[in-house]
Amino acid sequence: MDVRVHTEFDTRLAPEGVVSTLTDFSPRRPEVWRALDRTKYKLHEVGDTYAVVTEGSHRPDVWARERYDWSHPGFVSWAAEDSNFSAPGSGVEIAVSPADGGGSHVAMDWHRRPRGIKGYVLVGLMKIVGGQMLKSNYKAVFDRVARQG
């Protein structure tokens, strides 16, 4: 099973702000991305256009060591290297462009192959509710960052 979820939305945050929010691997990452469990967050390696990080959530209890890449302007992707729910190589791709009237247009493609029973349950649920959930969660983070300046 390979589950793919596509969603698009606009946010008040400028494109460079969306990319910098996605690629901020400072210790404050769990504060910005509130669904992240601080105890699971670990930065392994970071370069000019990539990072390797372990992050996850408490509920559900998931984690993934993922390689982020933002070497192409307006595009951020990450893929699992190891995870307790997702097969290696599956991940997320986000394209960011200026929105009409300001802010950004965000197009997200979430694609995961499950790993283990937990993975089949969670990835299966994402097939049903993933688009709306991803849209509301990511938009809320970007809009909050835009409000905070």
CATH number at residue 93: 3.30.530.20
**In the chain, helix, strand, coil percent, each to 5?**
30, 40, 30
Q: What pLDDT sits at residue 57?
A: 95
Cα dist. 6→24, 32, 95, 108, 127 in Å? 23, 23, 11, 6, 10
pLDDT tens digits, 91-125: 999 999 999 999 999 999 999 999 999 999 999 99
Residues 35 and 143: their CA atoms lie apart, in Å, by 16
pLDDT tens digits, 52-69: 999 999 989 999 999 999
pLDDT tens digits, 5-19: 999 999 999 999 999
- Residue 16's domain spans which residues? 3-148
Neighbour-count burial of 114, counting CB atoms closer than 10 A to its CB (0-12 exposed, 13-18 middle, 19+ buried): buried
pTM, full prediction: 0.95
Strand order in the sheet with 104-112: 3-11, 104-112, 91-98, 75-83, 62-69, 50-57, 42-46
How many domains does one find in the chain? 1
